Amino acid sequence: MNYLLELLIFLVTLSISVTIFVHYRYGYWKRRNVPYLKPIFPMGNNTSIFPKGISLGIISKYFYDEFTKMGCKIGGVFFGIDPQLVIVDPDVAKDILTSDFGYFVARGVYKTSSDPTTVNLFTQDGFEWRTARAKSTSLFTSAKMRKFLETMSKCADEMAASLEQNAIENSDVKMLEVMACFTTDVIGSAVLGLNCNSFKDPNAEFRNIGRQLFDEFTLMDTIKIFLTISFPKLCEKIGVSNIQPEVSEFFCRTVKDLVKYREDNNLIRSDFLQMLIDMKNSTNQLTMDEIIGQVFIFFSAGFETSSTTATLTLFELSQKPEIQNKLRGEIEECMEKNDNRITYDALMGMPYMNAVVEETLRKWPSVTTLTRVCTKDYTFRDSGITIQKNTNVIIPVLGFHRDSNYHPKPMEFDPERFMNKNSSYPGYLPFGEGPRMCIGMRFGQMQVKLGLLTILRKYQVYPSPKTSLPLEIDPDTFVLHTKQPIYLKLKKL
């Protein structure tokens, strides 16, 4: 009987202690006079979002819309019991990313030392990030991009050839799969020096890994991602990885085998992996785990974001034939001036092409949310509110990009928004901003533009009735995907 009484006392005491602790944690923003959304234990403000999916873009836009209604410049939410600060004012966001970057160097993206693929330039913070950034900057110069254009062009020609039968038969083209094969082949060649053969073999190994990484989420994958967002410290302590074990093992094995083969056979290639190997061997600057991490992020970020952006651009062009024809006219004029040759400067220097891609990234930003961690106490200029070191910050890019206050008729695709070079675009952050801006921006833009140029020179793109409209963001994916597959029709020119 005494044991039961002691157990009851323990449980009551524990319950009271947890209640007091949670109540104190959830009073965090109130004590700092920051407007906040009411959380519910144990998921905090994820409670109303989680059943609908795990898309961070949808979550952050929901927060953005709620705080915008309240007229706030900043607002507080909770992931689990961890406080997060949502930035609602684009000028405040710009300060955090640029002029006050010294207070917000860290991204705070989840990583665990038990999985090398999670430790890379995107997830690293502090001294690790500064060192990795300094080492990697030379990989993405304009000179390096020019060298990769020939490889990209071969992959683009294979893509165009693979579409001929679809055009002849007037059959529906699942465009994201086509563009994913293209970018997978480009990344495989440019990063690892491998011919992935995605167009010749639909089940090519690298293409399957790409599908598994972004398209084939299991319930367990979803739970892991949710837990690493809501309870990152606990997950890191117990070694939870948000990358599927099969994917992580594939990259670890592949990179180690390639490095060993090249070093054993004195083989030198002109690709990203070779540059990383050279760094490793010059002054032992890179470890094998670091090489694995950088290769993983180059592959995953390089193929996925570019294929999605190119697909959504072609979809928008199919809906607006006048825009498609105007872009094709600019492409033909550019090619004529360059003796029908594709050069890096010509590809990157077409004003209307730039505007079309920029408008796609406004309406459908690949990176829907930016995250930062305050690395030392910071006071906001306008409000005088101070946030403490280690406060997590959310910048809702999708919210800014689809706010009619900054972009009238935000769901209308209109490249003319970006034709005036003197215009400013508050909160336009497709690649981030400041020192942690996407280091592979030019590589990604080059892939997208070359893919568009190659298809539009050979085909007229039409909408397919098989695509259900309107397009919606898929709530069950971590990166931006549409809920429904995008099918298009092609007619050979």
Task: Give yes or no for residue 445 having a pLDDT over 70.
Answer: yes
Residue 78 tokens read as: 């909770």
Residue 158 counted as domain residue: yes
- For residues 105 and 15, membership in a common domain is answered with no
Residue written as token pair 């070093």:
263
- For residues 110 and 246, membership in a common domain is answered with yes
For the chain, what is the largest distance between any 2 Cα atoms, rounded to a whole number of angstroms? 94
Residue 25 belongs to domain spanning: 1-31
Write out pLDDT tens, residues 291-319.
899 898 888 888 889 999 999 999 999 99
Check residues 67 and 304 and name the one with the higher pLDDT: 67
Total domains in the fold of the chain: 2
Write out pLDDT tens, residues 93-103.
999 999 999 99
pLDDT value of position 398: 96
From residue 195, how far is each of 144, 168, 274 by CA, in Å? 19, 28, 16
Nearest residue to 160 via CA among 146, 176, 179: 179
Give the bridge partners for 446, in sequence order: none
Integer Cα distance of 445 and 358 in angstroms: 10
269: confidence class by pLDDT, cuts 50, 70, 90: confident
pLDDT value of position 239: 75
Task: Give yes or no for residue 52 having a pLDDT over 80.
Answer: no
Integer Cα distance of 269 and 252 in angstroms: 20
Integer Cα distance of 493 and 245 in angstroms: 45
- For residues 19 and 66, membership in a common domain is answered with no
Residue 148 counted as domain residue: yes
Check residues 399 and 150 and name the one with the higher pLDDT: 399
- For residues 351 and 376, membership in a common domain is answered with yes
Task: Give yes or no for residue 216 having a pLDDT over 70.
Answer: no
Annotated binding site for heme: 438
> Average pLDDT for residues 145-162, to the nearest whole number?
92
> Average pLDDT for residues 407-427, to the nearest whole number?
88
Most confident of 46-50, 139-143, 341-345, 453-457: 453-457
Nearest residue to 108 via CA among 373, 378, 435: 373
Radius of gyration of the chain (CA): 24
Write out pLDDT tens, residues 245-257.
888 898 899 999 9
- For residues 204 and 94, membership in a common domain is answered with yes
pLDDT value of position 413: 98
Residue 318 counted as domain residue: yes
Task: Give yes or no for residue 1 having a pLDDT over 70.
Answer: no
DSSP output for 82-116 = EEEEEE--HHHHHHHHTTTGGG--B------TT-G
Phi, psi of 386 (to 5 degrees): -110, 130
pLDDT value of position 336: 94
Is residue 391 within 8 Å of 372, Cβ to Cβ? Answer: no
> How many percent of the chain have pLDDT more than 70?
95
- For residues 80 and 201, membership in a common domain is answered with yes
Tell me the pTM: 0.91
Residue 37 counted as domain residue: no
Integer Cα distance of 95 and 10 in angstroms: 49
Annotated binding site: 438
pLDDT value of position 49: 52
- For residues 21 and 69, membership in a common domain is answered with no
Q: Is 372 helix (H, G, I), strand (E, B) or coil?
A: strand
Ordered alpha helix ranges (H), 215-338: 219-230, 232-237, 245-264, 272-283, 288-319, 321-337
Output the domain CATH number for residue 143: 1.10.630.10
* Identity at 48, one-letter amino acid code: S
> Average pLDDT for residues 178-206, to the nearest whole number?
90
CA 368, 415, 171: angle at the middle one, nearest 5?
80
From residue 477, how far is each of 98, 194, 399 by CA, in Å? 29, 28, 17
Residue 40 counted as domain residue: no
Check residues 272 and 243 and name the one with the higher pLDDT: 272
Task: Give yes or no for residue 422 having a pLDDT over 70.
Answer: no
Lowest mean pLDDT among 27-41, 110-124, 174-188, 440-454: 110-124
Residue 39 counted as domain residue: no
Task: Give yes or no for residue 53 having a pLDDT over 60.
Answer: no
pLDDT value of position 32: 92
Q: Is 36 helix (H, G, I), strand (E, B) or coil?
A: strand
- For residues 65 and 20, membership in a common domain is answered with no
Q: At what angle do helices 441-458 and 351-363 cross, to 10 degrees?
A: 110
- For residues 296 and 418, membership in a common domain is answered with yes
- For residues 169 and 257, membership in a common domain is answered with yes
DSSP output for 344-358 = HHHHHT-HHHHHHHH
Residue 38 counted as domain residue: no
Summary mean pLDDT of the chain: 89
**What element of type H or E holds 126?**
helix 126-136
pLDDT value of position 4: 79
Is residue 70 within 8 Å of 76, Cβ to Cβ? Answer: no
394: confidence class by pLDDT, cuts 50, 70, 90: very high
Nearest residue to 441 via CA among 373, 364, 361, 369: 361
Residue 36 counted as domain residue: no
- For residues 382 and 332, membership in a common domain is answered with yes
DSSP at 38: P
A 10 A CB-CB count for 404 gives: 9
Write out pLDDT tens, residues 80-134.
888 999 999 999 999 999 999 999 999 887 777 778 888 888 878 887 888 878 7
Check residues 210 and 179 and name the one with the higher pLDDT: 179
Write out pLDDT tens, residues 327-356.
999 999 999 999 999 999 999 999 999 999
* Identity at 251, one-letter amino acid code: F
- For residues 318 and 401, membership in a common domain is answered with yes
